Homo-oligomer: A and B are copies of this chain.
Amino acid sequence: MTDRLLELFEQSNGAFLSGEELSERLQISRTAVWKQIERLRQQGYRFEAAPRKGYRLLAKPDIFDLPAFIGKLQTERFGKHVKYYDEVDSTQTVALSLVAEGAPEGTLVLAERQTAGRGRMGRQWHSPKGKGLWMSMILRPKHIPLSFTPQLTLLVSVALCRAIRAIVPVEAGIKWPNDLLIGGRKAAGILLESSAENETLQHIIAGVGIGVNLEPDDYPPELRNVATSLFIEAGYRIDRVELLCRFLLEWEQLYALYHEQGFAPIKLLWEALSVSLHKPIRCQTAQGLVDGYAEGIDELGALAIRLQDGTIRKMYSGDVEFR
């Protein structure tokens, strides 16, 4: 019943609908109309009620429109199996249990909210309800050596950066290895949890968190200077369905390209989108700080840093800062 009511409000394009009209068209009493509207209000819809005019829909709750997503998705496999949750502890944890059950490549776990979202190095990932895309995807790469895993990390960041640039008019860039920055602040993060048998990759759970429609108040104080969202940067709300469909399509296409042609084309795309290259950087590693000039990435995805004495040092992991 609330579905039909919503349909009427959506067709009205923000105009008022009187209680009498709604009652007639839905063939329910005016009291029942009022009850349905109250129910929608509890779900997060906002209505204006005015004497003699009736009701009009002011705002819908930002609930991910799963049917629209399924209808619009243009991929062959990525996201074709989708598990959508209102709330989970962590989409990574849910995806891991799906891997154990044999879920196919491209299985997507999506949640409106994570209560214990995970970031890199055991850090927490802030995932407020309905404001972002908090997701994990299962990959089962074919015959990819373990040493090539960093290439897949870079591939995901390229796909995400291209999707954001296609949908939102912002200059998104990639900080090595895979942070998405806009104007120097982080708008999205990627966490790849992988498993391998000897020298061959078995599966990857690719966790991606995109700050889509967070407003400044949605961030805890310690994140306000370092994090941003697409909404904050663009100045308007971003359609999460459209963004996710584009991201999955870019990702699937790059992933196919990678399996066909290897890392070379991905490397070129990454370099073009990178904000880390050709500048002085400082890299925090387990062995201490490394200062140098970021020369490029190598065929395995390692960052090549030229030190002051001219030697090249390759970084396989670490946190990069600009000096």
Contacts and interface: CB of A to CB of B under 8 A. Distances in A.
Interface of A: 120-121, 142-143, 145-150, 153, 177-178, 190-200, 285-287, 300, 302, 316-317
10 contacts: A121-B200, A142-B286, A143-B287, A146-B149, A146-B316, A147-B149, A190-B198, A194-B195, A198-B317, A300-B300
A236 to B, nearest CB: 32
A149 B150 CA distance: 12
B199 A316 contact: yes
B194 A177 contact: no
Nearest to A198: B192
A177 B150 contact: no
Nearest to A300: B147
A198 B120 contact: yes
A178 B149 CA distance: 21
A193 B197 contact: yes
Given A143-B285, A153-B198, A199-B316, 18 more contacts: A121-B197, A121-B200, A143-B286, A146-B149, A146-B150, A146-B317, A147-B300, A150-B199, A177-B199, A190-B198, A191-B197, A193-B195, A193-B196, A194-B195, A195-B195, A195-B196, A196-B196, A300-B300
A178 B199 CA distance: 10
A193 B200 CA distance: 9
Contacts of A146: 146-147, 149-150, 194, 316-317
Nearest to A190: B198
Main DSSP-derived SS at the A contact region: mixed
B178 A147 contact: no
A149 B199 contact: yes
A177 B191 contact: no
Contacts of A193: 195-197
Contact of A196 (B121, B149, B197, B199): B149
Nearest to A177: B199
Contacts of A190: 198
B316 A197 contact: no
Contacts of A178: 198
Contacts of A316: 145-148, 199
The 9 closest A-B pairs by CB, nearest first: A143-B286, A145-B316, A199-B317, A145-B317, A147-B147, A194-B196, A147-B316, A195-B195, A200-B317
